[in-house]
Structure 1
Amino acid sequence: MEFAYALRTLQSAQKGKRGVSLYSRWVNRPLGRLLAAASAAAGMGPNAVTALSALVTGVGLIVLAVPAPSAATGLIAAALLVLGFALDSADGQVARLTGRSSPAGEWLDHVVDAGKMVAVHAAVLIGLWRADSVPTAWLLVPLAYAFVAVVLFAGLTLYSLLAPPAAGSAAAPSTLRSVALLPADYGILALSFALWGAPMTFLGAYTLLLAATTAITAGLLVKWFRSLSAAPAAR
């Protein structure tokens, strides 16, 4: 499959924009589209792209956890995590483009995402623990962030499975909602590692993202629970 043909086809086969943050809409999905077209042109299947996403993300987390925090490691890690996130978008696009969607591929994608939700905050915890300038009490922040991230991921995944088809809406996406969802977007978290070279500055931004993500998660959980409570019982 030629790159240009794959890119043209993908431009008309994108997911809906409703309920998606501005970062995912304007940065991650377009970047993922380019990577998907390149992957399809190279003959890669969706599972191979998922594996590549996991590999790139894993290398980024090692860069965070193993060396002492520095400006260089922060920028490298941020770039790798942004790339890994874009590849996470690309695998689904490759599946749609090539008609190779499968339950196994969907399962693999979710398992990798679930692992990433825990691993990124574990890497932060290890990296900050290695930084002598960070008081021990701050290590509770990545533990709390990991908890919130897992609850949000599980809640979204289960809601997507349990919500009735009518729960989706064809209404135009809300720009205000897309902006409000930015703190909970993994891409924004990935970009925050550009501050990694100044641990306390990074921690300030990281803690603000945690607070905002916690508030967003609480609001979404209430909304999803009410939506499912109002849904007709399955027969």
Structure 2
Amino acid sequence: MCCYCCAAFFFFFCATPSVASDKGIMLEPDRPFLRVKIFERAELECCYKNAVNNGIWVKRLSSGQTEPVNLSEEVFQNYSKSNGKQCGFLTLTNAKLNDTGMYQCHFINTTVYTHGTYLQVFSEYVVHTKQNLSESTKNKILTAEGVLLLLCVVIPSASLLFKSKKQNRLEMKKMKQEEENIYQGLNLEDCCTTYDQIERSQTQSQYQDVCTAMEEREEILEKP
């Protein structure tokens, strides 16, 4: 996508000829964008007028600086001239992925660069693989989303259940400790003594009541 943005950007600046400020060199429009398959032939072109020397091909780096193109049997340049217009050609007979980049013509002893052409080298195998895996990738994404949704439901529920059980255990433990604290200060002997006293007092009161009733009854009988 960025390559197409670069192409659109350079299209506006390369659509019409422009005059370079240095030594009156007139630059012709360049092809903004070129896309070729890996290991295929790529041909770049830059045209200009009023140049004393032919431009040499350079590749612009991501840092903004440029470096000369390394020429070889697979990468070579040539020139042509007709009707006062000069053109430089850069040919890559066996384009590689690392050949992708921005190519410009630079004129020696000047600060003039042509508009340039962005070359993109792509691998057909990678493109087809992505297209073939698109449906399976979507299915994997949907499956992953389902698993995540399930985890989002199960984990909070399990956490709440665990906290509830833990809270119940703490409450039971607290109640047990309170019961132990209640009976902790009591003496069993004192309890037994107190119980015996209560039982004895109740028993005596019953006997006393019976005796009193018998005496009252005898008094009543003795009266004439």
Instruction: Determine which structure has more spread, i.e. the larger CA radius of gyration.
Output: 2
TM-score, normalisation: structure 1: 0.21
Structure (1/2) with the larger helix percentage: 1
Of Structure 1 and Structure 2, the greater strand share is in 2
Q: Give the TM-score normalised by the residue count of structure 2.
A: 0.22
